Amino acid sequence: MQSIVVHYQELALKGKNRPWFIARLVRNLKEATADLNVISVRALPGRIEMVLGVETKWPLVRERVTRIFGVANFGLARRVTGDLDAVASSILDDLGDTQTSSFRVKTRRTDKRYPLTSPQIDREIGGRIKTVKGWPVNLSLPDLTIYVEMLTDSTFYYFDKIPGSGGLPSGVSGRVLCLQSGGIDSPVAAYRMMKRGCRVQFIHFHSYPILSKASQDKVREIVMLLTKHQLHSRLFMVAFGDIQRQVVLRVPPPLRVVVYRRLMLRIADHFARQQKAKALVTGEALGQVASQTLDNISTINAVTNLPIFRPLIGLDKEEITIEARKIETYPISIIPDQDCCQLFIPKHPSTKAKLQAVQEAESGLPVDDLVHQAVSEVVREDMTFPGQSQVAD
């Protein structure tokens, strides 16, 4: 029987939360592979086993498991019962006519009552393999490592240890709401929060019908891609064009960008509270553009009591771009679109918008009405992976 042995990030899983973390990871692995004929996913001492059916396509399962946070590494394994002779002969069967220049056996045992230590088991199994194959043993840099994991009633072995995504299982850290543009930065910010165990919901501000639907399509595609990691996502699409028009009528040009951002945050604050999200997330990096100076960031922050996480605050664009490529959102982000922020953007936005000046500028705006209108017209989209997306109202 083929299984996948999944190891989680040990250090993160200490203490009282451990069983809960593991249960969540089991559930996430189950959901992520729900359509791939995986027979069972269950927690064993120190690891998780995913039992594969005869029909299961390993490359597909492998790709899915790679995206699940909380997984340190995993391997396609066989599970056998019986003594060391039985284990060694099963390994030899599976090796078939594999050739290698050197090898080692690396054992972990969960049951410390077992009469042999791990290095002794390495030697016992390794000796049997060496006798048949004649391969030299190399403990420091072997060409082939045979991983053996002895549990109380059975033994796993596998030949390839695949790195996982690391981080914490999606959902264990609570919910946050990410302000999601179609740009390069905010998808990376969302990914980073997901990796720390947050369930990320998304809010996008668009200027349709003044501008095209391109930004919405891009954001939808980005969220669908990120949903492969967290399996369930919610996206709020908010019409922002009218609000921007009102700002243009009443707010002096240098302050407009900060006023747009404050309005975005007020609306985001509403949905975060409604959804019981405990923080907002943005893709801002200090000094990257005019709205992201220290002065402007603090003036923007003042509209909400929720914490605002900016996981990219200390990164260069170059560093963010490398990460965006790695998580595969980059090709979507660079598709040309007309983001609402390019609309009505003044030539010389203030880089030092003081709170008092901004508040004065906003006093001519029906802020509550604008927020209320945006909230009442929101379009909500729920996405599930694997599966379809759904538009609700």
Q: What number of other Cβ atoms are within 10 A of residue 39's Cβ? A: 12
Contacts (Cβ under 8 Å, ≥6 apart) of 23: 43
Q: What does the block give as tokens for 388?
A: 């379809």
31 contact, one of ligand ATP, Mg ion, none, CB 5-8 Å limit per kind: none
Query: Which residue type, as a one-letter code, is found at position 39?
Result: I
> Which span sits near Mg ion by CB under 5 A: 7-15, 25-33, 76-84, 173-181?
173-181
Which of 223, 181, 203, 185 lies closest to 313, judged by CA?
185
> Any idea which residue has 């086993």 for tokens?
49
179 contact, one of Mg ion, ligand ATP, none, CB 5-8 Å limit per kind: ligand ATP
Minimum Å gap between C-beta 179 and Mg ion is 10
Residue 179: DSSP 8-state = E
Q: Which is nearer to ligand ATP, 50 or 320 (CB)?
A: 320
Q: How many helices (H) and strands (E) does the chain have?
A: 13, 15
Minimum Å gap between C-beta 242 and ligand ATP is 14
Q: Pick from 282, 293, 304, 329: which binds ligand ATP (CB under 6 A)?
A: 282
Q: Give the 3-state secondary structure of 202-231.
A: EEEEECCCCCCCHHHHHHHHHHHHHHHHHC
> Which span sits near Mg ion by CB under 5 A: 106-114, 183-191, 237-245, 274-282?
183-191
> Which span sits near Mg ion by CB under 5 A: 78-86, 182-190, 222-230, 250-258?
182-190
Judged by CB under 6 A, the chain residues 171 through 190 that form the site for ligand ATP are: 179-181, 183-186
Q: Pick from 33, 107, 173, 181: which binds Mg ion (CB under 5 A)?
A: 181
205 contact, one of ligand ATP, Mg ion, none, CB 5-8 Å limit per kind: ligand ATP
**288 sits near ligand ATP (criterion: CB under 6 A):** yes
Question: Please, are residues 225 and 329 in contact by the beta-carbon 8 Å criterion?
Answer: yes
Task: Report the C-alpha gap between 113 and 162 in whole angstroms.
Answer: 29
Sign of the CA dihedral with 169 first, then 192, 9, and 322 last: positive
Judged by CB under 6 A, the chain residues 194 through 233 that form the site for ligand ATP are: 203-205
282 contact, one of ligand ATP, Mg ion, none, CB 5-8 Å limit per kind: ligand ATP
Task: Report the C-alpha gap between 328 and 99 in whole angstroms.
Answer: 35
Q: Which is nearer to Mg ion, 29 or 237 (CB)?
A: 237
Q: Which is nearer to ligand ATP, 145 or 216 (CB)?
A: 216
Number of residues that bind ligand ATP (CB under 6 A): 20
Q: Say whether the peptide bond before residue 386 is cis (omega within 30 degrees of 0).
A: yes
Between 251 and 280, how does the x/- string for binding to ligand ATP read (CB under 6 A)?
------------------------------
SS3 state of residue 330: helix
> Any idea which residue has 């921007």 for tokens?
244
**197 sits near Mg ion (criterion: CB under 5 A):** no
**292 sits near Mg ion (criterion: CB under 5 A):** no
Task: Report the C-alpha gap between 219 and 211 in whole angstroms.
Answer: 15
184 contact, one of ligand ATP, Mg ion, none, CB 5-8 Å limit per kind: ligand ATP
Task: Report the C-alpha gap between 30 and 60 in whole angstroms.
Answer: 14
Q: Which residues bind Mg ion (CB under 5 A)?
A: 181, 183
Q: Which residues bind ligand ATP (CB under 6 A)?
A: 179-181, 183-186, 203-205, 282-284, 288-289, 291-292, 339-341
